[in-house]
Structure 1
Amino acid sequence: MTTFADLGLAPTLLQALTELNFTTPTPVQEQVVPMALAGQDVAGQAPTGSGKTAAYGLSVLQHVDVTQDAMQVLVLVPARELALQVRDALKKLGKYLPNLRVAAFYGGHAMRDETSSLKQAPHIVVATPGRLLDHLERRTIVPNQLKTLVLDEADKLLELGFQDELVEIVKRLPRRRQTLLFSATMSEKVLNLIRANLTRPRVVNLGEEEGRIPENLTLLGHVGSVEQKPAALYHLLQQPDAGRVLVFCNTREKCQEVARFLVGRGVAAEVLHGKMPQPERDKALMKLRNGSSQVLVATDVAARGLDVTALDTVVQYESPDKADAFQHRAGRTARAGAEGTAHLLATPAEQSHVQKWPVAETIQWKAMHAPKLPPAAPKTPKPVSTTLHVSAGRKDKVSAHDLVGTFVAHGGLERDAVGHIEVFDHYSYVAVPRQQAQEVAERVTGAKIKGRKIRVSLVE
């Protein structure tokens, strides 16, 4: 059995992999890492959850010269959620590279914040194409020392209309560079992108056959009327094995309608769609990750790039138009070998449409079960934990370890009562037991971390 050490990775990377409990390379990592370490261009077709971020991440991190004050790696991604996810993954993998700087740049927040952070050049930039092009045009990022370009989720980059931006970006990059491209599908447009930008690429094809669903993912279809869907969804969420749930709707209006219905029935639910401000999107994802909510109701903006560990269940409240969208949605669970269940709530017309797809062969169909709903809850649901906002973050040199120590020392909490922590640039979120939250916030407010007084408040 191949190990990460067999792939020729540096001790600093192996140390981080051990800490992350990555024991055996996935097939995409086993194939891509040696090719990329050898400096070859790689075109990889790999499904969601196959470990491709670590496949290219380990390769580029090994080549980064942390003593050089310049951008050496550029990773282009289609969405800001994916930019943040990739940035965080690379930071974890590169934890033992001294002074490694990884930055994520994306639209939806002030350009000046990003510009001020570029006073010291990051070694690795993860960015959406539009925002990266803005930086290149303003010369706030100068790519003359670039070693490697990574095009992640190339099919989605093209689907979202970034073709022109990609052409303009590539024009500004050094011709002598390594290019790594990954895509879930290999359409003619993606193949043209490979031909135009990669030099004698090695091709890695670990894409799933059309319509094929991994063995660890159970697909269940429930057929009934539109009027039955709310009660059927509520019933699914009450099952003991539902766990953390991602519910997909086709429009943001439907997402808001479904979330309001769930909250009214005592289910802790949040919404995620493309028109939300970035801080609100961060908050919705954070609440699902740390257990402050059970359900995230989302449009397809979340189908790619959203990585919530231990996501147990996916429910497609409405059928998408295309088979690949159906598979991308379902593929948010049962990742990296874990078990998962994906449900589809379908009217007879939606079922008829879905059954034209090869993937329908693996769906277990049954009549929609929609028991009588309980009366609407008089109040918003209250999960066991809640989230506190802390007025200090990464830019203040604050770490999760610092926050745990402060909440134990000043908040009166036991160490294992401090829940999931997320540290952003200027603020942090900490999950704590709901019953103690207000008292903890008052106790910790005014405490000092790294010499700075902090304010703590409840996140609503």
Structure 2
Amino acid sequence: MTTFQDWGFLPAFYDILRDQGIVNPTPVQEAAIPKLLEGHDLIAQAQTGTGKTLAFLLPIMQKIRPDVESAQALVITPTRELAIQITAEARKLAAAREGVSVLAAYGGQDVERQLRKLQGGSQLVIGTPGRLLDHMRRGSLQLGKVRMLVLDEADQMLHMGFFEEVESIIRSIPRSRQTMLFSATMPEKVRNLAKTYMKQPQDVRISTKSEIPREQIRQLVIECTDASRERALLDMMERDMPYLGVIFCRTKVRAKQLNQSLQEKGYMSGELHGDLSQAKREQVMRSFRKAKLQFLIATDVAARGIDVEGITHVYNYDVPLDHESYIHRIGRTGRAGEKGLAVTFAAPNDMPELRNIERGIGQKIARERYEA
């Protein structure tokens, strides 16, 4: 069995891992770490929760030079939550390396404080695209000495519309860098990004046992039209009487519009997407957990962060982009032995994507035609 000691990390790292109860590497760590230590570019397809954060942080922390007081490694993430989470892990490892400083750069945080820390010299910078570009424009973040770049949750950056910003940041980093791309799914745009900006990347694909628990989650497709989609959703909500329901939309605009429409009709609903401040997101999630809100209208970025007891129904107002996103979405219900219902609304132009999802999950989903 492979152990972390096999890779020759600094001894202090083993103590930090052991204190967290981390003894053996996960499959993504076992596959990725040797390649990254050898300096290869890497494309890793792995779901959230598989240990990918340590898979890139350990090699980065091993290679960073404390005597160089400038950004040597940059991690780009789609959300503040993920930036905060990665920063917390990085600071635990940095405790073993005197002189190594970690900076988190994301919106909703004091810019002046970030500026002061950047002036002091941070070797590892972790941030969201918008705030990183802000610092670059101010001249407070210099990327000329970055040797390691991580694009984490690359598919979510695509879904959230960050790709132009990400490309702008990548173009500011020396081409001699090592690039690591981590993504739960591999849409074509992510693959094209890899082809354009990576050098002979090594591929790592970690399959997860994420099959749908069919005895727990009943799945249903409601065949409707674009014009009748909202009416079909409302009728299903009235018929099902969910305790808590999550309604997934593809875009922030769509989520906002649907939430406004439901609120106007008297439903206790809230929205969750990338345009909300951190404080607002936390407030919405608190209300949903306490069942003060019955319905949460969310974009795909939220599918990976919603873990709330009592979600009885998931409604795919828009058909997901791929079967992995479908599994993520409907996995919000049917937890801890409870039953759940996942309903997907599909208009005629959604049928090709729906067939791809059915192929991906190896199952034909039951269908009903909506009659107003």
**2:298 aligned partner, one-letter code:** T
SS at match of 2:119: coil
Aligned to 2:296: 297
TM-score normalised by structure 2 residue count:
0.74
State the match for 2:145 in structure 1. Answer: 145
Counterpart residue number, 1:454: none
Match of 2:256 in 1: 252
CA separation of 1:86 and 1:42: change in aligned 2, threshold 3 A: same
Tell me by how many angstroms 1:315 deviates.
4.0
Report the counterpart of residue 40 of structure 2 in structure 1: 40
SS of aligned partner of 1:317: strand
The answer to whether residue 124 in structure 2 is matched with residue 120 in structure 1 is: no
Q: 1:214 matched to which residue of 2?
A: 211
Structure 1, residues 370-396: CA drift from partner, whole Å, max 9, x if none? xxxxxxxxxxxxxxxxxxxxxxxxxxx
How big is the shift at 1:38? 1.9
CA distance in 1 between counterparts of 2:221 and 2:186 reads: 32
Aligned counterpart, 2:82? 82
| Structure having greater relative contact order (Cα 8 Å, sep ≥ 6) | 2
Rate the CA distance shift 1:334–1:222 in 2: closer, same or farther, 3 A.
Answer: closer
CA–CA distance in structure 1, aligned partners of residues 344 and 41 of structure 2: 43
CA distance in 1, matches of 2:94, 2:291: 31
The farther-off stretch of 254-263 and 25-34 is 254-263
Question: 1:323/1:142 Cα in 2 relative to 1: closer, same or farther (>3 Å)?
Answer: closer
Q: Name 1:421's counterpart in structure 2.
A: none
What are the equivalent positions in structure 2 for 1:301-312 lying under 5 Å apart? 302-303=301-302, 306-307=304-305
For the residue of structure 1 that corresponds to 2:179, the secondary structure is strand
One-letter amino acid of the structure 1 residue matched with residue 343 of structure 2: L
Q: Secondary structure at the match of 2:149?
A: strand
**Whole-angstrom CA distance in 2 between matches of 1:168 and 1:105:** 17
What CA distance in whole angstroms lies between the structure 2 residues aligned with 1:116 and 1:136?
Answer: 14
Counterpart in the other structure of 2:6: 6
More displaced 10-residue stretch of structure 1: 341-350 or 43-52? 341-350
Distance 2:247 2:128 in 1: 24
Question: Which region of structure 1 is more displaced relative to structure 2, 291-300 or 56-65?
Answer: 291-300
> Does the CA-based 8 Å contact 1:8-1:34 persist in structure 2?
no
Aligned pairs for 1:195-344 (under 5 A) are 195-206=195-206, 213-214=210-211, 218-221=216-219, 226-229=234-237, 232=240, 234-235=242-243, 237=244, 247-250=246-249, 251-255=255-259, 271-285=271-285, 287=286, 297-300=296-299, 302-303=301-302, 306-307=304-305, 315-324=313-322, 325-330=325-330, 343-344=341-342
1:106 aligns with 2:106: yes
Aligned 1:143-222 pairs, distance under 5 A: 143-206=143-206, 213-214=210-211, 218-221=216-219
CA positional deviation for 1:135: 1.5
Q: Distance in 2 between matches of 1:314 and 1:121?
A: 49
User: In structure 2, what residue type is equivalent to 1:2?
Assistant: T
Distance 1:318 1:307, change over 3 A: closer
- Letter aligned with residue 252 of structure 1: K
RMSD between aligned residues? 4.1
CA contact (8 A) 1:303 1:332 kept: no
Note the C-alpha offset of 1:111: 4.1
Measured after TM superposition, the shift of residue 159 of structure 1 is: 4.2
Q: Where does structure 1 lack aligned partners over 5 or more consecutive residues?
A: 238-245, 368-460
Letter in 2 for 1:149: L
Tell me the SS of whatever aligns to 1:214: coil
Distance in structure 2 (CA, Å) of the matches to 1:100 and 1:260? 52
* Alpha carbons 2:103, 2:126 under 8 Å: kept: yes
Which amino acid letter does the alignment assign opposite residue 52 of structure 2?
A: K
TM-score (norm 1): 0.61
Partner of 2:16: 16
Shift of 1:259: 8.6
**Equivalent position amino acid for 1:14 in 2:** Y
Q: CA deviation at 1:154?
A: 2.3
State the percentage of identical aligned residues.
30
Alignment length (residue pairs): 345
Q: Distance in 2 between matches of 1:314 and 1:20?
A: 34
1:75 is displaced (CA, Å) by: 0.7
What's the CA shift for 1:231? 6.6
The 1:109/1:190 distance shift into structure 2, 3 A limit, reads: same
Bigger-Rg structure (1/2): 1
Report the counterpart of residue 227 of structure 2 in structure 1.
Answer: none
Q: CA distance change for structure 1 residues 363 and 194 in 2, over 3 Å: closer, same or farther?
A: same
**Match of residue 29 from structure 1:** 29
| Separation in structure 2 between the aligned mates of residue 249 and residue 83 of structure 1, nearest angstrom | 23
Residue number in structure 2 paired with 1:133: 133
Map Cα deviations across residues 87-113 of structure 1 (whole Å, 9 max, x no partner).
233334545444643222234566445
Deviation, 1:17, is 2.1
Cα offset, 1:148, TM superposition: 0.6
SS of 2:167's equivalent in the other structure is helix
Is the Cα–Cα contact under 8 Å of residues 303 and 328 in structure 1 kept in the other structure? no
Distance in 2 (alpha carbons) for counterparts of 1:340 and 1:36: 41
